[in-house]
Structure formats: C-alpha cells, structure tokens
Structure 1
Amino acid sequence: MGYQSVTLDETIHIDAIYTIHYFEYMNTFAFTGERHDFWEFCYADKGEVGITVENNYTVIKKGDIVFHEPNEFHNVTATGASAPNLVVISFRCNSPAMDFFRKKFLHIDEIERTLLANIIVEARNCFESRLDDPYQTVMKKCSSPLLGSEQLIRIYLEQFLLHISRRYLSGPVTSSKVPKTTKSRSDNEIFNHVVDYLEKHLDAHVTIEQICRDTLIGRSQLQKIFKERSGLGIIEYFSNMKVDAAKEMIRMNHLNFTQISEKLGYTSIHYFSRQFKKITGMTPSEYASSIKALSNGSFET
C-alpha cells in the first residue's frame, strides 16, 4: 500500500523560554517595570495586583491574565488589598497567531489553569532556579532533569495559548479534552463542594467525621476523590489550605504569628509553627524574612 505522510501545521510554536515564575508577593510589593523583546504574561492565581501597560493602569483579580507583547513597557504593583500569588511566564514566539494576544486582558478557565499548574510542576522538575525570585533573569537547568520535562513545558504552554485562542475566537472549546463521564463530573462537583466547605472552616479544627456529616459524603468516597484529585488525603489537603492562608496573612503584615495561629484555629503557636515548617520547610519567621528579602530585592541564591 502506498502510504503518504502528512506534515502537521503548527499554529503556535514556542521557540524559547526566558522565565517561569510563581510569586507569593507581600501586599506592599512593587516592581518598577521593564520592556523586553519577547512575550510575557501575568496571571493572578490569588488576590489582586495592579498592572501598568505603557501608560494604562488596571487591576487584575483571581483568574485574570494580561499579556505583554514584545517591547511593551509593563510593571506590577500590589494594591495593598491582598498579598497576591502570581504566575509570570516569558517566552519567545514569532507565530502570527500570537497577534490575538496583543493588548489582551482575559480570564482563564479550569482547563487553562490546570495547564499553567502543569507548567509550574515541570519547571520544578527541570530547573534548579527558584521560581519565586522576581529578580532572576536566567533559568539554570538541573543536572539531571526529569525525563521529558522541558518538552512538556513547551507542549503545555502551546496548548494553553491555543486553548485560550480557540475559546475566545471560536466559542466554547469541546474538542481538546476527553468528555467526562457522569461519575467524573460528579466527583469533580463533590471535590469543589468540599473545598468550598473547607475554605469556610479555615478558622476551625475539623475531623473527617465532621466533614462527612456536614457534606453528606461517605468517608471512603471522600478520601478516594481527594487522593485522585490532589494526591493528598483530605486532612492533609486541609492542612495545606491552612498554611496557604497563613502565608497570605504573613505577607499582608497585619497580624503577628500568635494572632494568625488563633485566627486559623490552631491549638497553640507551637503547633502552628510545627505544621508550617512541615509543609513549607521553613518556620513562619523564616518565611516572613524570605518574602521580605525577595520584596526588597536582597535575596541571594
């Protein structure tokens, strides 16, 4: 049989990565601004941040993303209303399809957020450099990166950009993901429902029994769903949520550690410190010092 190969066209091709960052900013952080000859985007994962593009200022909030085209001046300033978490990725891409992203302020969906999370995971698999240093300009590769991590970064980033383009230019995207079964949709709804419940009880000590009783979900089903969705047991997931909330409070700089411990329902400041270090690898005071050093530009690798 006379087979003929088909060359697949590329709508968007990433030529190179410059930086991949996940920032946890103080509520007073301000970056003076820059312009460079490659693309960059800034996504608000938590909180809000002020963005200046040339002479125009706007505030982006959780779920929003702004794209900076090559040679466009931009800066980032915390509004003071929150201690924001941001994803900032810069890259070189000369594909004509990138014209869509010029001057764009958009909102991303769940699929796109997952793709961003995948990029961050793979960046940690192949770069030695810290992802939270805003003054870093060179990403140093690991001596033994995880197999395929660099290629996956490019694939995920291209898919991320294509998915956004399709969604805004062609309406809802249905062909880029496998249709979910009724069970998987139900599990996702349960997961989101329980996460909402946990967010409302960050100031309390809750048990699995209490969560099951209040959400009307069986213990084994609950544990299975959280293990599949997050890789963590539900109590471990809740502990991580508490520490994330504590980190944001520390960056807001309004409460001391004892007050934060009490506000999040810890039985003592000592237990809070142990849990914080167990999850982050730093004590609350070490984390505060690290964040302040990053904000002041005095962090050293």
Structure 2
Amino acid sequence: MQQYYKLKLETVVFITDIVNISYYVLPKNYIFEGESHDFWEFVYVDKGELIITADRRRYLLKTGEMAFHCPGEYHDLQTIRNSTANIIVVSFCCDSPCMDYFRNKILLLNPFEKECLLRVVTESESAYEFFEKSAPGINMQKNPNAPFGSDQLLKTSLEQLFILIYRRQDGIGIRERRIGSNALQNHAIIVQRVQSYIRSHYAEKLTLEALAAQVNISVSQLKRTYKDQTGSSVIAYLTKVRISEAKRLIRESNHNFTQIAELTGYDNIYYFSRRFKEETKMTPTEYALSLRR
C-alpha cells in the first residue's frame, strides 16, 4: 500500500489586515502634511515624480518606483513643483520577519511585479465601495456585492508581490536618492537664475550649454532640475519668452517679420514662423490680421 506524506506549506509573508488601497491623482504643488501609524505602508509612483519624507529625511521617488514606510515611521509627501503625480498607496498589517528587507530601499518594479500590483488595484475597485481616487480621504468599506474571494485575492497578490521583490535582492539604496535640506531651495534658485538670464538674453543664440554654464552645472543636470521644478523644459520656456516678445513687436507694428525674427533670436523667418504657429496656433500674418479686427 502506497504511503503518502503531507508537507506543511511554509508562509514567509503573512498579511493580516488591509487599511487602505488607493489610487491618487495628486495635483500640482500638493503637500501631504505627514503622519505615523502602527502598520506598514508603501507608495508606488505610477506617473510623474514625488518627494517623500521617511523618518524626517527627504527622498526622490520616480515613475515605476516604490518605497515602504515601516510601522511608527513618520512620513509625508509632496509633488514636484508645478507637476502632478499619480500614485498608489497601500497600507497593511504584516509581522513577518522578512519585511525588514523593505526598510530604507527604493524598489523599481519589473513588468511581472507591476501585474501583481495591478491585480491588487483592480480587485480593490470592485471589492470596496469607496475606492478613493483623490487625496487625502480614506474610507474603505466592503462592497456587499464584492466578487467571491476578493479579500483572499488581495492578500495573496500582495504577498506574491513582496516575495517576488524579496527574491531579487536588489534595490536602490534610499540614501542615493536623499535630498539635502537645502536641495529644493537650491534647485528653485537655479530655475530662477536660468529664467532671468533667458528673459535678458532671449535675442541671443542661446544654447543649453551656455545656460548650464551660467549656473555652473552640466547640461544633463540643468535639464533634469528644470523639469523637476517646473514640469517643462528649458527650451519650452525660451520659446515662450521669444514668442511673447514677438507678439509684442507685432502689436507695435514697427518692424517686419524678418526683423522680428532676428530680434527674438531666430536665424530665419521660416523657422520663426513655424515656432510662432506652434506656440500660438496662428502664423505671424494671421496674428497681425487678428489685431485689426
């Protein structure tokens, strides 16, 4: 007679409770004042970038990345200046020893891990009546018509996600993304100086290299800092300033279009006309005619 042996299944991640599962579309200049609580929480950036505070230290979180807040840790968050961010926040209770691995790391999810997280979000939308879509309210209430086994699917999907991440044994050291106490202020000053220089020198043949030299940083740093602070590019701001000045010159009617192109830093009338239409949805001629109506 065949003898069978039962093998007890080991559980390495055991989530006991869910506090919040939300997808937030954070507006420009949004600031969450901060809190601490006795359960775990992670923040995942689905779109944009986010500045988070963990235990009074500030870090940058980019699209596709996740950071954990352990129980008792003070945390807050804010969007990058003049930029929005879409985030997923999940709060849960878990006493498993392996959770220590998730402290002080920023984790970039791979496609399969993102699928696990998507299952958590989609199951939450159907299982709970108040799946919050705008910060900061949290009011999860079970839908009486929730699909069969929704709680277990939520639980196992989260546990699977954590196991997959743990197995990789990699991540970005959170200190690598730490933002110094004066960094945000310094970044804002860089933007202000660049914009001021552009407003004073827009008629010149400006390049990114020349602008970066004015604030003593590399071109890549300039592009990244400006984008983080404003949500736009340096070239977009330069174009805006030049076209705004061109519109003023057209209104004054003291110069022809070729002269206006030269006065606003464009090499030729054709490129000037193209940029003008891209910015205003009208050609210079159409804009001039519109002033006479």
Matched, 1:52 2:61: no
Give the aligned partner of residue 63 of structure 2.
Answer: 62
1:38-58 deviation per Cα after TM superposition (whole angstroms, max 9, x unaligned): 000001100001101122111
Helix, strand or coil at the partner of 2:8 = coil
The CA deviation at 1:4 is 1.9
Give the aligned partner of residue 101 of structure 1.
Answer: 102
**Closer, same or farther in 2 for the Cα pair 1:4/1:39, shift >3 Å?**
same
Matched, 1:151 2:152: yes
The 8 Å contact of residues 126 and 145 in structure 1, kept in 2 or not, is answered as yes
Which residue identity is paired with 2:148? Answer: L
Quote the Cα distance in structure 1 between the aligned partners of 2:10 and 2:118. 27
The 8 Å contact of residues 69 and 103 in structure 1, kept in 2 or not, is answered as no
- How high is the TM-score relative to the length of structure 1? 0.55
Give the gaps of 5 or more residues in structure 2.
172-230, 233-277, 279-293
Which runs of structure 2 are paired with 1:41-190 in the superposition (5 Å)?
Answer: 41-168=42-169
The CA deviation at 1:108 is 1.1
1:219-254 deviation per Cα after TM superposition (whole angstroms, max 9, x unaligned): xxxxxxxxxxxxxxxxxxxxxxxxxxxxx99xxxxx
Quote the Cα distance in structure 2 between the aligned partners of 1:19 and 1:71. 16
Quote the Cα distance in structure 2 between the aligned partners of 1:69 and 1:167. 20
The 8 Å contact of residues 40 and 71 in structure 2, kept in 1 or not, is answered as yes
The 8 Å contact of residues 29 and 83 in structure 2, kept in 1 or not, is answered as no
Helix, strand or coil at the partner of 1:62 = coil
The CA deviation at 1:146 is 0.9
1:50-85 deviation per Cα after TM superposition (whole angstroms, max 9, x unaligned): 101122111111011110000000001011252100
Q: Greater Rg, structure 1 or structure 2?
A: 2
Quote the Cα distance in structure 1 between the aligned partners of 2:104 and 2:46. 20
Give the aligned partner of residue 17 of structure 1.
Answer: 18
The CA deviation at 1:169 is 5.8
Helix, strand or coil at the partner of 1:147 = coil
Which runs of structure 2 are paired with 1:33-44 in the superposition (5 Å)?
Answer: 33-44=34-45
Quote the Cα distance in structure 2 between the aligned partners of 1:63 and 1:134. 20
The 8 Å contact of residues 50 and 77 in structure 1, kept in 2 or not, is answered as yes
Runs of 4+ in 1 over 4 A off after TM superposition: none
The 8 Å contact of residues 26 and 134 in structure 2, kept in 1 or not, is answered as no
Quote the Cα distance in structure 2 between the aligned partners of 1:39 and 1:6. 31
Give the aligned partner of residue 6 of structure 1.
Answer: 7
The CA deviation at 1:118 is 0.8
Give the gaps of 5 or more residues in structure 1.
171-247, 250-262, 264-301
The 8 Å contact of residues 19 and 89 in structure 1, kept in 2 or not, is answered as yes
Quote the Cα distance in structure 2 between the aligned partners of 1:122 and 1:93. 20
The 8 Å contact of residues 18 and 138 in structure 1, kept in 2 or not, is answered as no
The 8 Å contact of residues 27 and 81 in structure 1, kept in 2 or not, is answered as yes
